[in-house]
Structure 1
Amino acid sequence: MTREYILTLSCDDRLGIVYAVSGYLTRRAGNIEDSQQFSDSSTSRFFMRVKFSSQASRDELAVGFAEIAREFGMEWQLVDRQDRPRVLIMASKQGHCLNDLLYRFRIGALRGEVGAVVSNHADWRGLAEAADVPFHHLSITPQNKDDQERRLLDLVTQHRVDVVVLARYMQILSNSVCEKLPGRIINIHHSFLPSFKGARPYHQAFDRGVKLIGATCHYVTADLDEGPIIEQEVTRVDHAMTPADLAAAGHDLENAVLARGLAAHLDGRIILNGSKTVVFR
């Protein structure tokens, strides 16, 4: 049976990388359907994404490709497109991003499935259960945060979660959680980072009299709102708008930007490049 695969890789730039990759796939009767590459002249790093089909199993392909990866010092990942990535969505009091993602998964607009919804409030239990998704209420206080984060990591294991999405989850994850899930936590920040980091960005934007507001989807690291940026969008606003007006205008941006960023991650179109990302379209 023919299967579809996504191969992503990065390494120091040098001659022969594309030839080695395409040659290997040809020898394994792999049919390349799409290939994209990027050479970063500022870091001398090379990035590549290949979508191909083959009758070989993932394990067979990976064993052979490992020799090429060693030769070129590659960081790489090979994904079988039939495998459905599992997502855990976290939300707080505002549910617009959660509702939007549940809908997109239900209609098949996002690849994969939602394994669970977690919130520090009980408000969205009905929404999750209506989507036939397990809901977990992890109330957070300064006294129980460590215990609740251990429960969160247990849920990641229990539900076989590949990526955690912070869909307007308004709690700061500890360094320990970030370090245990590197490149596996995606956040939507209701601001055009790096401007207006931290809490109440719409109020910060209002106080500065901005004419554009934005939203930023990024990977979460131990440094608050400093993780590699995946996707961004802006919309025009004016002097007559209140902070509440700005927030209302921003909700649609947040939905769209988070969905695009998550889709890119689930489709294997993102490769980390230090504090930045390479996002293939």
Structure 2
Amino acid sequence: DIEELRTKPFVYEGLRINHALLNNVSFQLVIPIYNGDELWGMATLLGSQSTAIKLNWELRDYLKAVTAQVSNYLFHHQAAEELAENAQFAAFSRMSAFVVHDLKNVLAQIDLILCNAEQHKDNPEFIDDTFETLHHTKARMDKMLRQLTEKNTPKESGESLIFLSESIGDVIEKKCAAYLPTPCIKVDNEKPVVLDNDKFSNVMYHLISNAQQATDDNGTVEVVIEISADERYMLIKIIDTGSGMSENFIRTRLFKPFDTTKGNAGMGIGAFDAKAYLDKLGGQLLVDSELNVGTTFTLRIPTN
């Protein structure tokens, strides 16, 4: 109470109030707001000129109750803002992880060019393919940079009618052929489907390269393409004779984002991204695996 302080000055813990400052004060009451035991701020009040505020115990208790309610709203608002900011950072970090994952695919293309450059540098067809690949790589990197700067993922806009065997064959030839075991394709029957070829290629590259990494060089990785019996789905089976996975690992870790068995070499989002993409299409990603025997990933892609 400023008026009371003017007439009844006091010293608090060695701190003496500068009463010269009180002469210019236009408010009457100072109400502290505490966050726990820490002074967070204060509210100042002034009654009308015709109303003299008497700071008795009843008014003190009332102001304490009101201040507790107001401070509760303030601190909830402050916490909500911090949560929203943390959510933005989490979303940006998550999106960045997907961009880094895509960068690994781009790096695989460049690495393949470098592996073959010495042997085929005098071949005009190789030079033409290299320029085509580099143009495609630049376009994808531009897209990823836009994602980072705009802090969001653009809507899928590259959908077209594609043959799965052609897209998968391109992935194997340009990204997976340099590593053992070399994947082979078996096409029983197929019909074209509408997909974003870039996104689909990323999913296939992850699943096929994972099968290669899990399989010894003298093992096999086979990709089988066929139509379901009711012709509602295109089926893609990626079959390897690798180390396999336990039922518990498939259930608790395989599709958990940012959980990887590759240490710093992996991002832990490839299988999660593949499953999310198939779910978005209205399809399914199924897994059948046995330790030390092998794994079969089955992609069910709607034909409509």
TM over 0.5: no
* TM-score, normalisation: structure 1: 0.23
- Comparing both chains, which one has the higher relative contact order based on Cα–Cα distances under 8 Å and sequence gaps of 6 or more? 1
Greater share of strand residues, 1 or 2?
Answer: 1
Greater share of helix residues, 1 or 2?
Answer: 2
* TM-score, normalisation: structure 2: 0.22
Structure whose CA Rg is larger: 2
